[in-house]
Chains A and B, each alone.
Chain A
């Protein structure tokens, strides 16, 4: 047996550490290289137990490898809007939205979350993309607004149906937030910026906190009886069950928001016929795809046998040609079945369509199904 993940880095570049690195070791985490950081992939409880705990109680994730940016100034909203096919100008103060940075071909450079605060936007980007994103944003809108990376802030996520109960004890008032909104709140004299959001499909929060306070805060959260630490392994299985894309797998610079089935994140005001249609990189191609359709599209699939189907697996019309490829796949612990995301030719993308995944030369029957695989349970107020 080979290819066991050992957690050892074979790169010459030393791995970065988040402010919670020592805590992860103390908790017995298995650390792996991820986005240039040494990150916990799982704790002794194991991936499945951590996944199920998050779905039934509350899980604490260290996501401090992710990039945090402040984009401020009088022109910040139209400037940010010029980079994404998203309604930024119309976002109310205190509200949060999902967006995609596009290249000139409408390919996705990164996906991100942004919140309109009193005097700036707080933008959260993927760890592996943060250096390139910052350069891209600076280059295109740096002259119109203040783009400030926030390397002095850690980011924690508390996710699960009991997350609000647990966090309310430490940060009174936090349970007043609704899904996709955020506010500044204080814990022991430290200012936290908390949004009610996350990437698991569950209710929960993401907490931006000064690095020097992160360790004490994480310990306080972990002392709550509902909360256990959760690694990146379960974060991946939770997000896949929730139908959420992993940048680098399910979306990248060669996929557009239309192909990625992310048009819910392209508001009508930016589409043809909208008051501020176009005006973002790749607009011509994306708007044409929205109106005329595209050749391939991201779909969800469920295997009809209990065989995991992983990324890069080819999907065939049974007995015939390949019509797509899996981009993420695993046995979903809550779905209790092998699930996957894939890009398939539009003609074969209708829910209910049977396709064969070719796993080690043998067909595994799969069926296209709607996402999410596990219902979202956001707190919409």
Chain B
């Protein structure tokens, strides 16, 4: 995987025309136990930076932003019944949604892992 990262603590798996998006390990750690994830509707289109939904722990709620413009093609239904997947496997089984990229050039402006690590340490 060649993951890209946003300053809003999302990751993007950018290997394909369809990218997978989730929240980072740092994000889930800062939030604490995730108890609710509001996912976007499949088929809906978002511009980069738009709010797609929310992720909530017992103590806090945080907006989830669209890291790259495009159409939602799939959401992680497992998160509805088991939101804690965002804590236990944020880069794997805890993914949020998949998006068909409408402007793959946006990927170039996202951070690579080294830059994201520098941001969060």
| Residues of A that sit less than 8 Å from B by CB | 1-6, 41-42, 46-48, 51, 233, 236-237, 306-308, 310, 330-331, 333, 360
Q: Are B10 and A1 in contact (CB under 8 A)?
A: yes
Proximity string of chain B (29-71) to chain A, C-beta cutoff 8 Å, 1 when within and 0 when not: 0111101101000000000000000111111111111000000
Chain A residues near B54 (CB, 8 Å)? 360
Q: How far is the CA of A189 from the CA of B55 in the complex (A)?
A: 50
Q: How far is the CA of A333 from the CA of B31 in the complex (A)?
A: 16
- Shortest CB distance A31–B (Å): 13
Given A330-B59, A360-B54, 17 more A-B residue pairs with CB atoms under 8 Å apart are A1-B10, A1-B62, A2-B9, A2-B62, A3-B61, A3-B62, A4-B9, A4-B31, A5-B30, A47-B57, A48-B33, A48-B58, A233-B58, A308-B36, A308-B61, A330-B58, A331-B56
Contacts A233-B58, A308-B56, A330-B59; is A1 near B65 (CB within 8 Å)? yes
A–B Cβ pairs within 8 angstroms, 10 of them? A1-B10, A1-B55, A3-B60, A3-B62, A5-B31, A233-B32, A308-B36, A310-B61, A330-B59, A331-B56
Q: Are B63 and A42 in contact (CB under 8 A)?
A: no
Q: How far is the CA of A51 from the CA of B59 in the complex (A)?
A: 12
Q: How far is the CA of A77 from the CA of B23 in the complex (A)?
A: 56
- Shortest CB distance A254–B (Å): 25
Q: Are A47 and B38 in contact (CB under 8 A)?
A: no
Chain B residues near A5 (CB, 8 Å)? 30-31, 59-60
A-B contact count (CB 8 A): 66
- Shortest CB distance B28–A (Å): 10
Proximity string of chain B (14-37) to chain A, C-beta cutoff 8 Å, 1 when within and 0 when not: 000000000100010011110110
- Nearest B-chain residue to A236, judged by Cβ: B59
Q: Are B58 and A47 in contact (CB under 8 A)?
A: yes
Is B112 an interface position by the 8 A CB rule?
Answer: no
| Residues of B that sit less than 8 Å from A by CB | 8-10, 23, 27, 30-33, 35-36, 38, 54-65
Q: How far is the CA of A145 from the CA of B23 in the complex (A)?
A: 58
Q: Are A4 and B62 in contact (CB under 8 A)?
A: yes
Chain B residues near A310 (CB, 8 Å)? 61
Q: Are B9 and A307 in contact (CB under 8 A)?
A: no
Q: How far is the CA of A308 from the CA of B8 in the complex (A)?
A: 22
Chain B residues near A306 (CB, 8 Å)? 36
Chain B residues near A307 (CB, 8 Å)? 36, 38
- Nearest A-chain residue to B9, judged by Cβ: A1
Task: Say which residue of A1, A2, A47, A360 sits within 8 Å of B59 (CB atoms).
Answer: A47
Q: How far is the CA of A331 from the CA of B37 in the complex (A)?
A: 12
Q: Are B33 and A4 in contact (CB under 8 A)?
A: no
- Nearest B-chain residue to A233, judged by Cβ: B59
Q: How far is the CA of A237 from the CA of B64 in the complex (A)?
A: 24
Q: Are A42 and B32 in contact (CB under 8 A)?
A: yes
Contacts A3-B60, A3-B61, A330-B59; is A46 near B32 (CB within 8 Å)? yes
- Shortest CB distance A46–B (Å): 5
Task: Say which residue of B8, B35, B58 sits within 8 Å of A2 (CB atoms).
Answer: B8
Q: How far is the CA of A330 from the CA of B56 in the complex (A)?
A: 9
Task: Say which residue of B56, B58, B62, B63 sits within 8 Å of A333 (CB atoms).
Answer: B58
Q: Which of B59, B64, B65 counts the most chain A CB atoms within 10 A? A: B59
- Shortest CB distance A362–B (Å): 9
- Nearest B-chain residue to A5, judged by Cβ: B60
Task: Say which residue of A47, A236, A360 sits within 8 Å of B33 (CB atoms).
Answer: A47
- Shortest CB distance A200–B (Å): 15
Q: Which of B31, B36, B57 counts the most chain A CB atoms within 10 A? A: B57
Q: Are B27 and A1 in contact (CB under 8 A)?
A: yes
Q: Are A4 and B60 in contact (CB under 8 A)?
A: yes
Chain A residues near B32 (CB, 8 Å)? 42, 46-47, 233
